[in-house]
Amino acid sequence: MSIEILMPALSPTMEEGTLSKWLVSEGDIVNSGDLLAEIETDKATMEVEAVDEGKVGQILISEGTEGVKVNTPIAILIGSNEAPHPTIKKIAENPYIEKAILPTKNKDKEILKTDSNSSFITVREALRNAMAEEMRADNNVFVMGEEVAEYQGAYKVTQGLLDEFGDKRVYDTPITEHGFAGVGIGAAFGNLRPIVEFMTFNFAMQAIDQIINSAAKTLYMSGGQMGCPIVFRGPNGAASRVGAQHSQCYASWYAHCPGLKVVTPWSSADAKGLLKSAIRDPNPVIFLENEVMYGQSFDCPNDQDFTLPIGKAHIERTGKDVTIISFSIMVGKSLEAAEILNDKGIDAEVINLRSLRPLDTETIINSVKKTNRVVTCEEGFPFSGIGSEISAVINENAFDWLDAPVTRVTGKDVPMPYAANLEKLALPQVDDIVNSCINVCNKS
């Protein structure tokens, strides 16, 4: 007998991990349930248990190897009385190894030139750096949320904050979103600057009354007395294969409401610059991150004073034929689409909105005047979505400049399905953006 032990998937979005430590050696007998190895993902370090029984015939991936893809064989289990099988491939011959040890490369175009003033870091690290820097600068800034302290963050975004700032600045809350959001708002009314992490924005619906009725409206209702300087942050939108209740984009829900600012970073620089601005902002800010983006790396300025203004969009790629307007994870997909379109003779401009409220209508309108064609792109549902709003803004302000109707690429108007094929159909894909652009350019 010979059974391949495969690199396990330990979370819905995990694609690779580090085999940090072997807990068995070649020749050891293992029983079902015995610990085999420690695997580190971008979320956590986990111990992997044996499912099958037998003898460790060969270890294929040595400990300390980074970037081991899920489903890569990492060891071979043989019968308890067998000698190692002679036909087992040596490590050097293992077809998975070369692939496994390659570091992850960001597929997206480099936005900033790497130099001594910037680092190639993940969105996750950029968010953490932003919080840590602002906490160092202002004692009134503190973090609260589910698993943000001792667990080091459900998605590791708050990793290390408890160690550096202690339990007077970093609070694990009970799993009671409505209550702890209200406590955060009260603390903000009391002149503190809370950062409230929701494990995901799906769970923030439990707290949405406090966010809208208490945080967003009280300044107005009090004639300007009751500022509420608070950041609500966490992953928003679809993760992967987690079904309808855990995969939804709330961008248009919050962007609908006066009194809130709504920020949607894409890259590491966006994440750092916008989160620092959000923490310094005297208003309630909804900071919509994306779980799939957490592990992606980009160049990011090291400067402690680096911020990006809330309310300003960024043109990620200039072009003259069509404007693709997107935010968050869809910016990367829009840039991929732009490259494909380039090969087809269409020169697309890609706008990263960065912030949805306030919306940078000036950048949008100026781009429309240049390209005369627009495709909006978002993960959320089409009905009353961000694309609908952008379309209305363009109609009201630049109707005469349009050569084609504004076209929306959105998630489908259905609850998110679980099955892989249906989930893919429900989410906007690069091809959808490409096809919409071809249509508005009349080049089909």
Partner 1 sequence: MSVDLNTAITKEELLDLYKEMRLIRMVEQSAAKAYTLKKILGFCHLYIGQEAVVVGVQSVQIEGDSVVTSYRDHGHMLACDMDPKGVMAELTGREDGYSKGKGGSMHMFSREKGFFGGHGIVAAQVPIGAGLAFAHKYNGNKNVAITYFGDGAANQGQVYESYNIAALWKLPVIFVIENNKYGMGTSVNRSSAGDNLSDRGKAYGIVADIVDGMDVIAVRDAALKAMDYCRSGKGPYILEMKTYRYRGHSMSDPAKYRTRDEVDEIRQNSDPINNIKSILDKFGLKDENLKIIDTEIKSIIANAATFAQESPEPSEAELFTDITIN
Residues annotated as part of the active site: 177, 246
Joined tokens for residue 243 = 């079904």
- The nearest distance, CB 262 to partner 1, in angstroms, is 11
Joined tokens for residue 212 = 């809208």
Joined tokens for residue 25 = 């050696």
283 contacts partner 1 (rule: CB under 8 A):
yes
Member of 64, 95, 282, 415 binding partner 1 (CB under 8 A): 282
Is the separation of the CB atoms in 9 and 16 below 8 Å? no
What is the spatial distance between Cα 19 and Cα 133, in angstroms, rounded to a whole number? Answer: 31
Q: How far is CA 421 from CA 9, 236, 285, 427, in A?
A: 19, 21, 35, 10
Where do the DSSP E strands lie in 209-255? Answer: 231-235
* One character per residue 143-172, x = contact with partner 1 (rule: CB under 8 A): -------------------------x--x-
Apex 112 CA angle, 111 and 115, nearest 5: 155
User: Facing residues of 314 across strands?
Assistant: 352
What is the spatial distance between Cα 239 and Cα 305, in angstroms, rounded to a whole number? Answer: 31
Q: How many residues bind partner 1 (CB under 8 A)?
A: 40
277 contacts partner 1 (rule: CB under 8 A):
no
What is the spatial distance between Cα 361 and Cα 311, in angstroms, rounded to a whole number? Answer: 9
Member of 189, 232, 254, 266 binding partner 1 (CB under 8 A): 189
Considering only the stretches 110-118, 240-248, 258-266, 405-413, report the one whose residues sit in contact with partner 1 under the rule CB under 8 A: 258-266
The answer, yes or no, to whether the previous bond of 358 is cis (omega within 30 of 0) is yes
What is the spatial distance between Cα 34 and Cα 19, in angstroms, rounded to a whole number? Answer: 17
Member of 155, 180, 232, 327 binding partner 1 (CB under 8 A): 180
**Closer to partner 1 at the Cβ: 355 or 367?**
355
**Closer to partner 1 at the Cβ: 160 or 227?**
227
What is the spatial distance between Cα 5 and Cα 7, in angstroms, rounded to a whole number? Answer: 7
HSE-CB at 13 with a 13 A cutoff on CA atoms is 18
Pairing outcome for strands 348-352 and 261-263: unpaired
**Closer to partner 1 at the Cβ: 70 or 183?**
183
* One character per residue 210-229, x = contact with partner 1 (rule: CB under 8 A): x--xx---xxxxxxxxxx--
Member of 67, 182, 243, 382 binding partner 1 (CB under 8 A): 182
**Closer to partner 1 at the Cβ: 96 or 142?**
142
What is the spatial distance between Cα 367 and Cα 374, in angstroms, rounded to a whole number? Answer: 9
Report the site for partner 1 in 38-97 (rule: CB under 8 A): none
What is the spatial distance between Cα 371 and Cα 89, in angstroms, rounded to a whole number? Answer: 56
* One character per residue 295-314, x = contact with partner 1 (rule: CB under 8 A): --------------------
Apex 157 CA angle, 173 and 159, nearest 5: 80
**Closer to partner 1 at the Cβ: 356 or 440?**
356
251 contacts partner 1 (rule: CB under 8 A):
no
Member of 259, 265, 380, 385 binding partner 1 (CB under 8 A): 259
Considering only the stretches 80-88, 147-155, 255-263, 266-274, report the one whose residues sit in contact with partner 1 under the rule CB under 8 A: 255-263
- The nearest distance, CB 217 to partner 1, in angstroms, is 8
Member of 41, 76, 111, 142 binding partner 1 (CB under 8 A): 142
Member of 5, 37, 74, 188 binding partner 1 (CB under 8 A): 188
- The nearest distance, CB 232 to partner 1, in angstroms, is 14
Residue 183 is inside which H or E element, if any?
A: helix 177-189
Residue length of the chain: 444
- The nearest distance, CB 201 to partner 1, in angstroms, is 19
209 contacts partner 1 (rule: CB under 8 A):
yes
* Percent of the chain that is helix, strand, coil (3-state, to 5): 35, 25, 45
- The nearest distance, CB 345 to partner 1, in angstroms, is 44
Interacting residues with partner 1 (CB under 8 A): 142, 168, 171, 173-174, 176, 178-192, 209-210, 213-214, 218-227, 258-259, 261, 282-283
